[in-house]
Amino acid sequence: MKRGAIMQLPAYYEFCNTVKTIVGHKALEQIPQSLKVINAQRPMIITDKGVEQAGLIKIVQAAMQKSKLKAAAIYDTVPPDSEIKMVNELAKMYTSKKCDSIIAVGGGSVLDTAKGVNIIVSENASDLMQFAGYGNVKRKLKPLVAVPTTAGTGSEVTSVAVIANHEKNIKMIFGSAFLLPDIAIIDSRMTKTLPPTITAFTGMDALTHAVEAYFCLAKNPLSDTTALAAIQIIAQNLVNVVKKPSDTDGRLALALASNLAGMAFANSMVGMIHNIGHAVGGVCGVPHGVCMNILLPYGLEYNMHKASQYIGELLYPLAGDEVYNATKKKERPQKTVEYIRNLIQDLHDATDGKHPRFFKEVVDKTGKQMVPKEKLVDIAKTAMSDPAQFYNPEDLDYNDYMMVLEAAWEGTPLDKKKIKKG
C-alpha cells in the first residue's frame, strides 16, 4: 500500500503556549470574569489613537463596566512602531497610577509596547534595554490581557516583542516564555472597522508567519498543525474580507488564523522574510505587514533548493486539494510561489492599487516613496544584525541581501542562477 511521503520528525523540539484564548463574535463580554480569574482590579489600558477613534475602547470599557470595573489608567497614543523610550515612560505611568495589570487593545505595536511595559514594571527595572535578547526575562510578569484589533501579528500568543530603538536605528527583540499574555480575547467587533488596505497587509503578515513557521529550521509537528490551519483559513477568507469588510464571520476567521499563525511562529520562529522585513521597517519605517507581503514570495524563492518539499506542501492549504493533486510534485514549490504572487495581485486589485506589490510602490500618506533605492545598502547592512537569519534554511551574506532587496524593490522574481548553493 502506498502511504505517501513520510513525515520527517525533528530529533528534538519545544512547544509552549499557555495563553487562554477566547474567540467569538462577542467574546469581549467575557472580560470581567477573565480579569477576576487573574486577580486584576486596577488594569491599565494601552492602545493607540486609531483604535480609540474607531470606538473600540468604548466596547472594552462597556464590557468592563458590567462588573463595575474601571481602568486605573488609559494610554491611547502608542505610535505605529513601539519605541523603547515610550515604553520606559509608560512604565512610570503604570507605577504612579498604582495599576496591577495591563489590557492591551490594538495591533502588534500596542501589544509589543504592553509586553515591554510589563517587563519593566514586573522586574522593577528602569530601562528595558537590559532585557533585550532571548531568555533575559526570568520571572512571571504582571497579568496581561491582549485584545488584538488587527488580524496579523499574532502577538497575543507570542513570547516575543519587537521594539524599536531609534537611537541605534534597529529593532530590538525581546523573547521569553514569560512574555506570553495570560489571556487573549478575539472578538470580531475589534477588526470590523479595519480598512481594506490594512486588512490586506495584516492578513499577509499572518500568512508569512505561518509559511515561515512551516519551512524554516525550527519547524516541528506541533507548530506545523497550527501553521497549516492558519494558511488554509487565510487563503479562503482574505480576499473576500478585503472586498466585503462587513463580513464578520470572515473577520473572525482571519483573527483566528492570525492567532494560529502566531502560535506557530512563536514556537518555530521565522526566517529571512522577517529578517529583511525588520530591517526595512527599522531603516525606512515601512509597516511590518507591508514588508512581509512584499518579501514573502522572495523568501520562498531564495530557499527553494533547501526546502522544496515543505514549500511544495504549502500548495495544499493555499490552493486546495484539486489544484494540489493536479500539480506534479516537482512543480508544487514553484506553483506555491505563483499562487502567493497571484494573491498579492488580487489584493492589489481589490484595494484599487493601494496594496503595494514591491518596495518601489510603497508610499507614505503624502505620496512620498518610503524605500528609496539608495537605502537598500543600509537595509542590507542592518539585516545582517538580525537574529531571524539563524532560522532560515539557507545562509545569507551582504550580497545575498542586496540581491533579494533589489528584486523586491523592482518587483522581479529572483534570478535562480544567482542564488548561491553550498
Question: Would you list the DSSP string of 170-199?
Answer: EEEEEE-GGGS-SEEEEEHHHHTT--HHHH
In the bound state with another protein, the residue whose beta carbon lies nearer, of 342 and 398, is 398
In the bound state with another protein, the residue whose beta carbon lies nearer, of 17 and 202, is 17
Neighbouring residues of 42: CB distance < 8 A, sequence distance ≥ 6: 72, 97, 98, 99, 100, 101
Cα–Cα dist 144/43, whole Å: 9
Cβ 274 to another protein shortest distance, Å: 13
b vs e for 226-263, b when ≥16 Cβ sit within 10 Å of the residue's Cβ?
bbbbbbbbbbbbbbebbbebebeebbbbbbbbbbbbbb
In the bound state with another protein, the residue whose beta carbon lies nearer, of 10 and 24, is 10
Cβ 285 to another protein shortest distance, Å: 20
Q: At residue 270, what is the residue type?
A: V
Cα–Cα dist 296/211, whole Å: 8
- Number of residues engaging another protein in binding (CB under 8 A): 30
Among 89, 384, 412, 415, binds another protein (CB under 8 A): 384
Among 386, 401, 407, 409, binds another protein (CB under 8 A): 386
Angle at 332 between CA 327 and CA 338, to 5 degrees: 105
Which 230-269 positions form the footprint of another protein (CB under 8 A)?
269
Residues 290 and 311: beta-carbon distance below 8 Å: no
Among 137, 146, 173, 286, binds another protein (CB under 8 A): 173
> Near another protein by CB under 8 A, which window of 10-18, 61-69, 246-254, 366-374?
10-18
165 binds another protein (CB under 8 A): no
> Near another protein by CB under 8 A, which window of 4-12, 24-32, 49-57, 95-103?
4-12
Exposed/middle/buried for 105, CB within 10 Å: 0-12, 13-18, 19+?
buried
389 binds another protein (CB under 8 A): yes
Among 79, 133, 353, 372, binds another protein (CB under 8 A): 133
Cβ 254 to another protein shortest distance, Å: 29
Among 190, 198, 211, 218, binds another protein (CB under 8 A): 218
Residues near another protein (CB under 8 A) are 10-14, 132-136, 170, 172-173, 216-218, 269, 384-387, 389-391, 393-395, 420-422
